[in-house]
Amino acid sequence: MATRLIKSSAPGKIILFGEHAVVYERAAIAVPVTQVRATATVEPAPAGSGLTLVASDLDRSVRLAVAPEGDPLAVAARLALAHLSAPEPDGVLTINSTIPIASGMGSGAAVSTALVRGLAGFLGHALRPAEVSEIVFEVEKIHHGTPSGIDNTVVAYEQPVYFVRGRPVEQLAVGQPFTLLIADTGTPSPTGKIVAQVRWARQREPARYDALFDQIGDIADEARRAIESGDVDALGPLMDDNHELLIELGVSSPRLDDLVEAARFAGAMGAKLSGAGQGGNTIALVEDYLAEEVAEELRETGAVEVIRTNVR
């Protein structure tokens, strides 16, 4: 029986460029947000007691042996044990998270990542980011239907990534660090539902949607060049253009548009929604000396939370 206490964690994430189009094999860029994290703590339990999963923020606890089929923590734990070919250990695995839920910040992927790493560590295994990402992708599929795989990838690698579905992940070297403000509308962004809506819309108008996806993919490619060469000035207009295309895809909302406008009005270099949309977060690129002013404008426009992060 394992006797050590194990702790593991995983960051939140935001998509800088390319959400939705990435589901259709176009390029996208995502970065980890380390200010918010999911953590897993695993402690030994008496022999024969099996594994208990505790979601402490939700005040919920379930024994793996009797957990319902679709329970998100149980799904991640079962997949991890199957990957390791390990029997269920005796332990208590507790999850805590400071990542806002259903806000486009990868809370589900981060919780699964922390859980998978924690459980593996408890059993004496150190999994590579690619292995963790693969397991978490399976969990994401159960909860979100047809995810592209970008969320599990950026969270498991904890590095800025350039991602094209079906291709090996590429880690991005950031030429010049830059600052983003992440502003939460406070309205949920149910990823699976919105991805399904985009799929139906594309079925009705394939040529129009594929052209929009192409344009978004081109923006992500241009953004990659700008990020790697340290051309931060080029990123703002690319974010603005990406937001316009997301409006055309039908995934923005008046609250998201208001926050994007407010950020630009207060001096941001560019802004867009981030993640699946309809709610969740916007991101704004700001020069450091203006960050507090832009954050204040975002709060006055109704953002329930503003997180400042430096991409490096």
What residue ranges bind ligand MEV (CB under 6 A)? Answer: 15, 19-20, 22-23, 104, 147-148, 150-151, 191, 195, 275-276
Nearer to ligand MEV, 100 or 275 (CB): 275
Question: What tokens does 185 get?
Answer: 């509308």
Alpha helices, H only, 147-205: 150-157, 191-204
Sequence-distant (6+) residues with CB within 8 A of 10 are: 37, 38, 109, 110, 111, 113, 114, 117, 155, 156, 158
Least distance CB 298 / ligand MEV (angstroms) = 21
Phi, psi dihedral angles at 36 (to 5 degrees): -120, 140
Nearer to ligand MEV, 129 or 147 (CB): 147
Nearer to ligand MEV, 150 or 164 (CB): 150
Least distance CB 80 / ligand MEV (angstroms) = 21
Least distance CB 37 / ligand MEV (angstroms) = 17
Beta bridge partners of 270: 285
Least distance CB 10 / ligand MEV (angstroms) = 15
Nearer to ligand MEV, 60 or 193 (CB): 193
Residue nearest ligand MEV, CB atom distance? 148
Least distance CB 288 / ligand MEV (angstroms) = 27
Least distance CB 13 / ligand MEV (angstroms) = 8
Nearer to ligand MEV, 21 or 232 (CB): 21
C-beta separation of 311 from 160 below 8 A: yes
Question: What tokens does 180 get?
Answer: 């983003």
Query: Which CB contacts under 8 angstroms, 24+ apart, belong to 164-167?
Result: 164/22, 164/25, 164/26, 164/27, 164/28, 165/22, 165/23, 165/25, 166/25
The number of angstroms, rounded, from the C-alpha of 269 to the middle of its chain's C-alpha atoms is 23
Distances (CA, A) of 136 to 80, 107, 199: 9, 12, 23
Rounded CA-CA distance 147/130 in Å is 16
Nearer to ligand MEV, 119 or 164 (CB): 164
Rounded CA-CA distance 237/231 in Å is 12
Nearer to ligand MEV, 148 or 309 (CB): 148
Least distance CB 294 / ligand MEV (angstroms) = 23
